[in-house]
Amino acid sequence: MWAFPAVLTLHTAGMAVLVGASWVLDLRLLGLNRHVPLSSFRWVFPAVAIGLIVNLSTGIVLFMKNATTWGTSIPFLVKMTLVIASVAMLVPLRSLVLGGEAREVPDSARGLAIASILAWAGAVTVGRLLAYV
């Protein structure tokens, strides 16, 4: 009876690190502290990786508890789509951050930052609502 709450707590903490760190980078890409070089945001990616590993493993456990209902439920599939989209957006952002001392943010990255903020917000919202469907 301790396992489920512990897994859920880890899933929430992992979410906070994963989404929170992504948002901090997105805010920089949108112009907050624009004088700070993008290379100062290298720490975001190990943090995101840790959050992702924790949430993939705890997420699988949580899914197994509800596999029969969630496997075919639209909200769950929407959440998975949003998570995959959010993570996919981190890939080009990572090469931008690791790619040198750039301070200028290309317009495409600004659009990506907005999409990243919204996709993570959608994933968190739908994830939380899964408890009520």
Partner 1 sequence: MNVAHLHLLLNHVPTVGSVVALGLLLLALVRRDEGLKHAGLEVLFAIAVLTLPVYVSGVAAYRELREQPGMSELAVLLHQDAALAGFALTELAGFVAWVGLWQTRRRGRAAPGIVPVVVVLLTVSVAVMARAATLGGEIRHPEIRAAASSAAVAPDPDQFVVTAISTVAVYSTWLWPAAEAVHFLGLALVFGVLLAVNLRILGVAKQVAFADVHRLLPWGMLGFGANLITGMFFFIGQPGQYVGSSPFYLKIAFLMIAGGNFLYLTVLKRPWAADRPEPGLADKAMAVVSIVAWLGVLYGGRMLPFLGQAF
Residue 65 in the binding site for partner 1 (CB under 8 A): no
Residue 40 in the binding site for partner 1 (CB under 8 A): yes
Residue 36 in the binding site for partner 1 (CB under 8 A): yes
Q: Residue 18 in contact with residue 51, Cβ under 8 Å?
A: yes
Residue 47 in the binding site for partner 1 (CB under 8 A): yes
Q: Which stretch binds partner 1 (CB under 8 A): 52-60, 63-71, 108-116, 124-132?
A: 124-132
CB of 39 to partner 1, least distance (A): 8
- For the chain, how many helices (H) and strands (E)? 5, 0
Structure tokens at 67: 């596999």
- Cα separation, 117 vs 24, whole angstroms: 10
**DSSP per-residue codes, 59-91:** HHHHHHHTHHHHTT-HHHHHHHHHHHHHHHHHH
Residues that bind partner 1 (CB under 8 A): 4-5, 8-9, 12-13, 15-17, 19-24, 27, 32-33, 35-37, 40-43, 47, 120-121, 124-125, 127-129, 131-132
